[in-house]
Structure 1
């Protein structure tokens, strides 16, 4: 995994996982910053890398599931979760081993996790790819009161990314265009214009976090 930052610090590269793994990020230890990990679909295994370089693993989910860890329990560290595309269901594993689930979106949507409202815990969302050239992607974000807000952003072929780009305490959305390795980040919640920049190489998979 390769990371970029806006503080003028050198980029870092860390090796983790194997071919076929899906990159994930989260604050596994309550360290106050993002840590890296991977999800191995072949065994439904989360492998989490800690600051000391050690790696712990946990099996959770089914072969079709998409990983979606986040601070679901508002207790300072991330819990494991998956999204089941066939039923458009988020399934969260809590620290005590119990599991809760909730439906959002439609089959084929890509799951999103972020603190859309600045409430201090993860909230659910989905990304619906543009149906064709000239159309826009749709972000649908679920709030704690059960309401869902939607926004159009990006175009066909983009991948979704989410993060607190301005350090406002609220997560917003953006896209990564693999064809030209370009991030386009919306600052809609902050009432400011977005930013666009190139990073990586064509074909890379984007990851975001508070490194």
Structure 2
């Protein structure tokens, strides 16, 4: 039995055995040496369970609900990914529901197991997190030199990395699955992603899309590795190239829409979403939930507002959020309780740059001021203003790359 919103425990599947009627976990592991944990959700939260740090290097994990081992319903499963030394599952937990977590070695593998759990941070502190410390870093791109200048938000360590040219589009994400944001650009003239892996400092390229496409960040298949994605305005279609080479094409939206992807249902997968910028339904979000395939529509803001994705209430889900430049105000519809969160922040000419800079699992209201090259954020942890000079006038704040 385990409990709490966050926690960790250790165990072993040495001498463990499967039970009669036990299902195959992750559709690839017969229950030969499985161990089980029981956890009851304390609130409605998008949760992540991980076996990172386990001595058992080939792990399958599955989460179930049900009343008996032979009468279980699958919530989510995952077998270890090639080259990724952990198995993890993300799912939307319902308050008061009891979940059964099964962990097994692939085939007959046995060894020590480390299990940790906490709120899914994909929509908050894993964004713009270049060093893997679960907090967004202060980072700007200097078009004149093609250099990314980054200051780690927790310890102040500074770095500079030349990557890209002035006309490139910034697309930072975790493309190699090591839990760190990779330095990455998309070059419209070549319709190509250029990615510098944080795991081993090597680079790779991937041609995807056409020159008029809009590159977007996201993990549409839920394996915690970013996919290569573009949205084609002329067709209103998302084109996703998964890490395994499979393509997904999803028509969603019309030509004047703005892509607004995020994990709005908390299942660990990016949802196809757009926001209408004009017409009778200007300001309406259209979201295709990956968990159920159902449509969610939500009118929020004016057509000229900017989409500022993030998890502002810390429940592990993307909130529907916009920034109105004319009044310099963030408007957030909290996914946890449906209430409005509004915050005036910034002055004319500022650029929205939301991220989780204090590392508490909630997106902070943040702007970057070109006039003085400074980040200003309202810490959700302390409710105080934090000022961090970083960059020069003419730079592009990396966190603004998610804002549309």
Output the TM-score relative to the length of structure 2.
Answer: 0.43
Q: Which moved more, 1:59-68 or 1:164-173?
A: 164-173
Cα distance, 1:69 vs structure 2? 0.8
Cα distance, 1:13 vs structure 2? 3.6
3-state SS of paired residue (1:198): coil
TM-aligned CA distance change 1:102 to 1:182, over 3 Å: same
TM-aligned CA distance change 1:36 to 1:163, over 3 Å: farther
Structure 2 unpaired stretches of 5+: 1-140, 162-182, 187-192, 194-208
Q: Which moved more, 1:96-105 or 1:30-39?
A: 30-39
Give distance in 1, aligned partners of 2:245 and 2:185.
10
User: Are 2:325 and 1:129 equivalent residues in the alignment?
Assistant: yes
Cα distance, 1:147 vs structure 2? 2.0
TM-aligned CA distance change 1:98 to 1:44, over 3 Å: same
1:78 aligned to which of 270, 279, 299: 270
TM-aligned CA distance change 1:204 to 1:166, over 3 Å: closer
TM-aligned CA distance change 1:74 to 1:161, over 3 Å: same
> Any conservation in 1 of the 2:264–2:318 contact (CA below 8 Å)?
yes
TM-aligned CA distance change 1:42 to 1:203, over 3 Å: farther
Q: Deviations over 1:88-111 (max 9, x none)?
A: 111101224321101111232122
Cα distance, 1:23 vs structure 2? 3.6
Task: Give matches, 1:17-166, under 5 Å.
Answer: 17-32=209-224, 37-51=229-243, 56-86=248-278, 87=281, 88-95=283-290, 96-130=292-326, 137-143=328-334, 144-166=336-358
> Any conservation in 2 of the 1:45–1:57 contact (CA below 8 Å)?
yes
Structure 1 unpaired stretches of 5+: 131-135
1:188 aligned to which of 375, 379, 386: 379
Cα distance, 1:55 vs structure 2? 5.9
> Any conservation in 2 of the 1:23–1:207 contact (CA below 8 Å)?
no
3-state SS of paired residue (2:308): strand
RMSD over equivalenced CA pairs, Å: 3.4
Return the index of the structure with the highest Cα Rg: 2
Give distance in 2, aligned partners of 1:28 and 1:183.
33
> Any conservation in 2 of the 1:181–1:204 contact (CA below 8 Å)?
no
1:133 is matched with none
Cα distance, 1:138 vs structure 2? 0.9
Give distance in 1, aligned partners of 2:297 and 2:276.
10
Output the TM-score relative to the length of structure 1.
Answer: 0.76
Cα distance, 1:125 vs structure 2? 1.2
Report the number of matched residues: 203
Give distance in 2, aligned partners of 1:70 and 1:116.
13
Q: Which moved more, 1:120-129 or 1:183-192?
A: 183-192
Q: Which moved more, 1:33-42 or 1:106-115?
A: 33-42
